[in-house]
Structure 1
């Protein structure tokens, strides 16, 4: 089985050691969204599993620098090959139809050392490629302004190829939907009703949703974006319950800016050839 990383406009292949198991969820794909146009989200990445000749979309992600891509930790599973594509991607059945792609070898990836599958905490991973991306990283900025605050009811956008409804059909085209940030207390109360072990911690996650609109299965790992003066990635699609019925839970990117900077600096010139296994599986 191969894990492929695909994007709207580039492509990457490589071999790395299998290390991780994926956390299966019942949420995280675009519900009641709009079709994206070519080039609208050039930093968007699709992670896909390849089994024999079949390609199945699994998760989303985003290109954040010339060499680095950001996604959710629970998306990395039995990795033997990763592909990133810069071009329009249309899904036909279980296959990706891709045009004008180029290939780049992956260098390494790093799962947050405190990632926990059961609680979904610290659900963040960085992936580095050997050849640089062409300009896509310039379209999104992960470091918000110094005075940035997560404000309840602010309009945000989530992007992905995920399911169109809870346990429904997968989208054939990239979609996006506008949501609103939900205050932490309200989000925690809603999820605690179903799961007292849910990880709604204000310093690590942010919640977003609008009635009948949300991310859903397959959108995990994709960016939660807020447009201020520029586009800022403020979250990573992590988990949720019953697409469109409850807010989605996103890893709070601002919490991990120090970790992101440290990992990129640490592996700027010498990435390990094998997977890094310093995360927890509890």
Structure 2
């Protein structure tokens, strides 16, 4: 027996989901190609204070990784990271886009050193925070860029891969 609707009842289908919700679901399944090994205590001593158990990578090992940078005095400074989902879309934490204006943020990609002059740089068109963001809950956001990154099927710049199963 088919389900009957009553007056005022809403029907939700996958097509009714906002694009943001679909993007968040896809982003939840992003697959990183290999697990990151743990750092030793001596390695932690030589790392910057805010990187925990990190390791140096070669160009192309994390081709989806981007740097969010904002103007500080006379230079751009890294303040958060993100993952490239498509040529104009970046997944990041909502707290990274909470207290900044779009025009004050630059997204850089295709590098492993922050000062790399060959990195691609794009400006932000819009920020989209999860509608129920309340730190630390739902700490996820999207960035729409004004211009697409130039992607490659080889390193150093590709979108994050999503597993099919």
Q: TM-score range by the shorter chain?
A: 0.5 to 0.7
Tell me which residue corresponds to 2:126: 108
Tell me which residue corresponds to 1:64: 85
The whole-number CA distance in structure 2 between the counterparts of 1:131 and 1:49 is 18
- Find out whether 1:53 has 2:71 as its counterpart: no
The residue correspondences of 1:15-34 to structure 2 (distance < 5 A) are: 29-34=50-55
- Find out whether 1:40 has 2:57 as its counterpart: no
Tell me the secondary structure at the aligned position of residue 35 of structure 1. coil
The residue correspondences of 1:66-81 to structure 2 (distance < 5 A) are: 66-76=87-97, 77-79=99-101, 80-81=103-104
The whole-number CA distance in structure 2 between the counterparts of 1:48 and 1:130 is 15
Gaps of 5+ in 1: 1-27, 91-95, 147-282
Contact preservation (8 Å) 2:107, 2:124: no
Contact preservation (8 Å) 1:89, 1:99: no
Measure how far apart 1:55 and its partner are: 3.6
> When you count strand as a share of all residues, which structure comes out higher?
1
Contact preservation (8 Å) 2:109, 2:119: yes
Q: Deviations over 1:79-132 (max 9, x none)?
A: 232222234243xxxxx4122234433221200100002xx1111110011222
Residues 54, 104 of structure 1: alpha-carbon distance in 2 compared, 3 angstrom cutoff: closer
User: Normalising by the residue count of structure 1, what TM-score does the alignment of the two structures yield?
Assistant: 0.35
The whole-number CA distance in structure 2 between the counterparts of 1:105 and 1:46 is 12
Residues 44, 32 of structure 1: alpha-carbon distance in 2 compared, 3 angstrom cutoff: same
Aligned residues: 110
Measure how far apart 1:59 and its partner are: 1.2
User: Normalising by the residue count of structure 2, what TM-score does the alignment of the two structures yield?
Assistant: 0.57
Tell me which residue corresponds to 1:222: none
Tell me which residue corresponds to 2:145: 129
Tell me the secondary structure at the aligned position of residue 95 of structure 2. helix
Gaps of 5+ in 2: 1-48, 152-156
- Point out the structure with max Rg over C-alpha: 2
- Find out whether 1:82 has 2:105 as its counterpart: yes
Residues 41, 132 of structure 1: alpha-carbon distance in 2 compared, 3 angstrom cutoff: same
Contact preservation (8 Å) 1:87, 1:99: no
